Amino acid sequence: MNDGTVTEALKGQARIAAYVKTLPDAPGVYRMLDANAAVLYVGKAKSLKKRVASYAKAGGHTERIARMVTETSEMLFVTTASEVEALLLESNLIKRLKPRYNVSYRDDKSFPNILLRQDHEFPQLLKHRGAKSSKGIYFGPFASAGAVNRTLNTLQRAFLLRSCSDSVFESRTRPCLLHQIKRCSAPCTGRIEKEAYAELVREAEVFLTGKSRTVQALLVKEMGEASESLDFERAARYRDRIRAMSHIQLHQGINPITFSEADVFAAFSEGGQTCIQVFFFRAGQNWGNRPYFPKHDRELSLEEVLESFVGQFYDEREAPKRILLSHDIPNCALLAEALSVRQNFRVEIAVPQRGEKRDILQMALQNAREQLARRMAENSAQRELLEGVAETFGLEAPPRRIEVYDNSHIQGAQALGAMIVAGANGFEKGEYRKFNIRSTELTPGDDYAMMREVLTRRFSRLIKENEADEAKAKWPSLALIDGGPGQLAVACQVFADLGVEDVAVVGISKGPDRDAGREHLYMPAREPFRLDPRSPVLYYLQRLRDEAHRFAIGGHRQRRSKAIGANPLDEIGGVGASRKRALLQHFGSAKAVSAASLVDLQAVAGVSGALAKKIYDFFHPNG
């Protein structure tokens, strides 16, 4: 260390030592903050006094801990009733604050489930995500929405249960297309008796709880009986359902025999990066897997990374009764106790040494190894592309963060701006943003004014957050604008007005006849230029531009669909779903409701005189 570094380290130790005198010999959680009040590290301790005192020692620290101590300017503490409670709080804070020196990972949406509703006489089978507030039986979690959708499609063929909403179910007068293609038994129009439908529901429940062979054997028997009685049409229906069940079983991959429910975590590390593969097993079936790439200091052991990851993984998720790990973790018993307290049942955490569980873990570990190899290869290629971008645009270093901007509208209607983000790890979809164009003075279809509003809003907010030291990681190195010299001039003017000087800006426009490969590139104080049509950098810029265009178009279509589906009756207080349905059934359309007289409105069932007056006044504000 040089003299300055030594001095800073001593200051950090002194600040930490000052806290030790007043700390209790009790469990709790501590936070280490830097000079800008940003959280550096969150940790738990059986004894806050002893743990914090260990940081105040003059030596014996790893390089990571030494850096952390040097940067520490302040500490915050929370005492807890037990070490278990401290562990739970630690996981929650790490996940929420994402400190620099902790293990952290991008937490995607909650995992989807399949819900078999039980609050209707004809239960519905549907995909569910979020809080389990609806009455019914939940099956999951599934690793992805795609896995759920594939399973639901096959379950429709196997059990013919309805997937439509209650409002659609009640309004049907004839079977829908799903009945025609043999994916629904059409209970909405009485094509199946209530008792027969209930039997289908029971079979689906038995199948999803892991007793698929039982249901399959029953259907095989009934198919044989139908064939013997020469009822070949009914036998064919059973045959199709059996095939659908077999399809599910084939796509579930490895299904365990020695256990029915577990989450499997297999971790593999190389080159300072880690992949953790998570497999979900429920009801004796494999319901998919997902890879994670947690961010962590290179000095951390694989066991420490895995322990922190598992704790954060279950911070807002339900844990199963069994968790299988590829490596022993330091606080295995404590973590199992903490999860058991949270779930109100015993959670077992184990590292299998032999048998089927060990074989499944080895398979998961192989997946983790291969996934990490693919990611490292992709990152290497990505680094080469970013180096090429830096060389093409004369940047001092490869861009750490690229933001790409595009607009979408139809003759000015539902105008929307979009921003996508890319970096060393490819597209960062969690950072994408949409901008609903707010200006009332903007001429419809004025792309320049739209771009000016989007960039002004984006960078004004970034500057404000940067003053509070919140947005350094989100400050772009390069802004790529979809457009020609006009859009580039607008971007340069916005940056000049806001005082933005450290962001390179480039415009990219398609060539004559909008041919891909003939793009023109525009930069301030530089003549427009083109790249070799076979240049990898050009392909990369095209991908960025096309991704921004896709995101903008998608957002615009959502706005347009919402506007098309909007109903003025939704804006009237007191008109709920049932009264809205009654009005539309009585008059035929919202337009006819708007033209109805006060007397006609009062004639609708469920519409009182006061509500009729309210509806009439809404459509006739001037009397």
410: which strand partners?
A: 413
CA–CA dist 316, 314 (Å, integer): 5
Given a contact cutoff of 8 angstroms between Cβ atoms, the answer to whether 389 and 398 are in contact is yes
Structure tokens at 577: 């779903």
Compute and round to an integer the Cα radius of gyration of the chain. Answer: 30
Given a contact cutoff of 8 angstroms between Cβ atoms, the answer to whether 304 and 269 are in contact is no
CA neighbor of 212 nearest in space, from 264, 163, 263, 251: 251
CATH of span 568-619: 1.10.150.20
Contacts for 456-463 with beta carbons within 8 Å, 24 or more apart?
456/494, 456/497, 456/498, 458/403, 458/419, 458/433, 459/494, 459/495, 459/498, 459/500, 460/498, 463/498, 463/499, 463/500
Given a contact cutoff of 8 angstroms between Cβ atoms, the answer to whether 375 and 293 are in contact is yes
Output the pLDDT for position 559: 66
CA neighbor of 124 nearest in space, from 156, 171, 157, 172: 156
Output the pLDDT for position 3: 47
Given a contact cutoff of 8 angstroms between Cβ atoms, the answer to whether 335 and 315 are in contact is no
Structure tokens at 536: 């990898």
Identify the CATH class of 262-373.
alpha beta
Output the pLDDT for position 573: 75
How confident is the model over 326-369, as pLDDT tens digits? Answer: 999 999 999 999 999 989 999 999 999 999 999 999 999 999 99
Q: What is the DSSP string of 275-333?
A: EEEEEEEETTEEEEEEEE--B--TTS-HHHHHHHHHHHHTSSS---SEEEESS--TTHH
CA–CA dist 173, 283 (Å, integer): 38
How confident is the model over 261-273, as pLDDT tens digits? Answer: 899 999 999 888 8
Identity at 182, one-letter amino acid code: K
CA neighbor of 88 nearest in space, from 317, 265, 339: 339
Determine the 3-state secondary structure of 52 from DSSP.
Answer: helix
270: which strand partners?
A: 273
Residue 2 burial (10 A CB sphere; 0-12, 13-18, 19+): exposed
CA-based torsion, 579, 581, 584, 590: positive or negative: positive
Cβ-Cβ contacts under 8 Å for 23 (sequence gap 6 or more): 48, 49, 52, 77
Domains in the chain: boundaries: 3-97, 113-251, 262-373, 401-563, 568-619
Domains 262-373 and 568-619 share a fold: no
Output the pLDDT for position 211: 60
Beta strand 262-270 with 322-325 is parallel
CA angle 45, 46, 49 (to 5 degrees): 70
Cβ-Cβ contacts under 8 Å for 550 (sequence gap 6 or more): none
Cβ atoms within 10 Å, residue 346 = 11
Ranges of residues in the chain whose predicted pLDDT is under 50: 1-6, 250-252, 470
CA–CA dist 400, 407 (Å, integer): 24
Rounded to 10°, the helix 194-208/145-159 angle is 140
Q: Assign domain 401-563 to its CATH architecture.
A: 2-Layer Sandwich (3.30)
User: How many CA atoms within 13 Å lie on the side-chain side of 579?
Assistant: 18
Rounded to 10°, the helix 48-55/3-20 angle is 160
CA-based torsion, 291, 292, 297, 300: positive or negative: negative
CA–CA dist 159, 313 (Å, integer): 34
CA neighbor of 562 nearest in space, from 457, 390, 436: 436
Q: Where are the beta strands (DSSP E) in 352-476?
A: 401-410, 413-423, 426-427, 433-436
Q: What is the DSSP string of 354-388?
A: SHHHHHHHHHHHHHHHHHHHHHHHHHHHHHHHHHH
CA–CA dist 142, 447 (Å, integer): 43
Beta strand 478-482 with 401-410 is parallel
Output the pLDDT for position 467: 60
Structure tokens at 512: 């004559």
pTM for the structure as a whole: 0.69
In the numeric block, the tokens 């469990």 are attached to: 27
Given a contact cutoff of 8 angstroms between Cβ atoms, the answer to whether 264 and 281 are in contact is yes
Beta strand 136-139 with 433-436 is unpaired
How confident is the model over 135-151, as pLDDT tens digits? Answer: 888 887 887 777 788 77
CATH of span 3-97: 3.40.1440.10
CA–CA dist 158, 243 (Å, integer): 8
